[in-house]
Chains A and B, each alone.
Chain A
């Protein structure tokens, strides 16, 4: 009986693996195109010059970031190159301080401190208008305060590093994450 021959099952295992790997490769090409800065899901870095809010999309029936008019970070306007460099530095700060080992980004990381995906538009900071918001977050990063059950350690973040992190958080908040997190900061029934 052919099913009692291990070689039959070996052929099945190799064929299945090869097929699935090929499908993954094709999907990867398309996904990378869509998640590059300026792609369908990920805005270019210069989005930090704009207002970003979290709005309900009646067509998709889910919440998502919406890019609005001009809203300058620290009262400055950044060119594409300047924004790219600033945000690249922000990522390096985030990695050097291992932020992901307390916080989460898009829900990935440790679960000890709040998710940072939409931190830029969190009501805690969104109550501050204009450049005041970026200034408040930068100062918090440099001299963290206790917030309820959690106290953020002082990680020796310099002014330059703090500005880069704020830029990173603002840019990241503009990424379309398929409705995650649901209804961020909106009261229950806001979509009615």
Chain B
């Protein structure tokens, strides 16, 4: 099957993303063990290290999935090879090598003394952006080359599309905000203030727009959605996501030492944040009905639907449930947040990356249609696993919010007593069980990705057009 070099690079990114997805699960299961087995690996491999690899694995598998998706779709969008593709290919291997070194240092060195050497070469100790500075610089370089690839290709092509325009405008803040991974501020209030610019304005703004672009392309290739309709929806989504999400940043500014006006601003705008996600669900239901739940590529179609529903439920409903300051005062910093985090990342981003993966596979395998039994099992187990984990963590978090926080007064003793309460410990066991179910779903996903569509016949011109080229 003829493919652009950029699409080969996209596949490499998607493959690396899938490997990191697995690493994230392994370290997630490990992190869950510390909750049911007090003293587990103490002073050998502490909880913090397992959690750092788990969370950074999450960020990276999604980012690499996004980058892979863009490299996959761009040559189709502009009908030409990506400009500077050799540099893009080089940066892929640089990124993989850097990830390997950083993970090895996290695992074997773990931490250093209170000096600049630790910040540059071991661990910066800021949640989500623990990667040492040299690696953070490397990520900037990789993201810079990626942005150059996209922009130079549009420039050389002499034309753009609505989706590409939004993508390019989104890549600029995405890159600039990451520069916030470097500063070392003494004042925790200021540190957290800027840190949330990076974390929130990535996850609840620029990433949402990026996945919006990727899903726009996915819908056009998957079900032949009209460009005019998809691009109009993308603009509406951008208006709603950024219109509510930019000031929705305020829901992280309730309790970090910031002025009181953030309580009202953050509460009001984050209450509106589910609106674009609700719009996606409405549209997904409409599309699913129009296509009678059928498409030539069934796994990609179902993962696209899961994306819409998961985003609304995990990010929208579970997010809203704990976002108003009146409940956030007690839910903030409990397992309730972890529940929302697990469900939201999966629904908003994970499902979307898997949809693109199946779309690309249909093309590379030359399959006219893509279906089977294995993907259904992995689809079911992964979604049951994540819903179960989110549910278990929600029970634990509510238990904490009411008994540890509201009744117990948030002291160390209240926290420690809560960690031993049956509702909490049983929830932690339930989370571990559902985590194992999720891992089984991943194993079947891997099997399916290797095998699906390999026995199918050659791609017909119509299916080829639908899948990509």
B259 CB contact (under 8 Å) in A40, A88, A96, A179: A40
Evaluate contact between A6 and B231: CB separation under 8 angstroms: yes
B interface: dominant SS = helix
Q: How many chain-B residues does the 8 Å CB contact rule pick out?
A: 87
Chain A residue numbers with a CB within 8 Å of B263 are 178
Please give the distance in Å from A45's CB to the nearest CB on chain B: 8
Q: Which of B356-398 contact A (CB under 8 A)?
A: none
B residues 6-44 near A (Cβ < 8 Å) are 34-35, 38-39, 42-43
Which interface residue of B228, B249, B256 has the most chain A CB atoms within 10 A? B256
Interface segment out of the listed B68-76, B145-153, B329-337: B329-337
Q: Is A71 an interface residue (CB 8 A)?
A: no
Within 8 Å by CB of B333, from A34, A89, A104, lies A104
The answer to whether A111 touches B52 (Cβ under 8 A) is no
What B residues does A161 contact at CB under 8 A?
A: 113-114
Given contacts A119-B412, A180-B332, contact A108 B256 (CB under 8 A): yes
A182 to B256, CA, bound (A): 14
List chain B residues, Cβ under 8 A from A130: none
Q: Give 1 or 0 for each of B235-246: 1 = CB within 8 Å of chain A CB.
A: 110110011001
Stretch at the interface among B117-125, B217-225, B288-296: B117-125
Q: Is A112 an interface residue when CB atoms closer than 8 A count as contact?
A: yes
Interface string of A15-45 (1 = CB under 8 A from B): 0110011011001001110111100111000
Contact for B184 among A17, A92, A150, A172, CB less than 8 A? A92
Q: Does A93 contact B (CB under 8 A)?
A: yes
- Residue in chain A with minimal CB distance to B248: A20
The reply to whether A178 and B255 contact each other, CB–CB distance below 8 Å, is yes
The answer to whether B410 touches A181, judged by C-beta atoms less than 8 angstroms apart, is yes
Collect the chain B residues with CB atoms within 8 Å of residue A76's CB: none
A106 adjacent to chain B (CB < 8 Å):
yes
Nearest-CB residue, chain B, relative to A125: B412
In the assembled complex, B159 has its CB within 8 A of some CB on chain A: no
Minimum CB–CB distance for B368 against chain A, Å:
32
Q: Does A151 contact B (CB under 8 A)?
A: yes
Measured in the bound complex, the distance between the Cα atoms of B115 and A164 in whole Å is 13
Contact of B4 with A by CB under 8 A: no
Q: Identify B192's interface contact among A34, A94, A106, A149, CB under 8 A.
A: A106
A-B contact pairs, 20 of them (CB 8 A): A6-B232, A9-B232, A21-B246, A30-B259, A35-B193, A41-B189, A91-B188, A96-B119, A101-B51, A106-B192, A107-B332, A107-B333, A111-B335, A112-B35, A123-B411, A148-B416, A149-B416, A176-B257, A181-B409, A185-B410
User: Which 10 pairs, one residue from A and one from B, show the smallest C-beta to C-beta distance?
Assistant: A107-B333, A95-B125, A9-B235, A180-B255, A148-B416, A181-B410, A101-B48, A149-B419, A20-B246, A13-B238
Extra contacts, 5 of them, besides A13-B242, A89-B114, A100-B126 (Cβ < 8 A), are: A95-B118, A96-B111, A102-B48, A104-B333, A124-B413
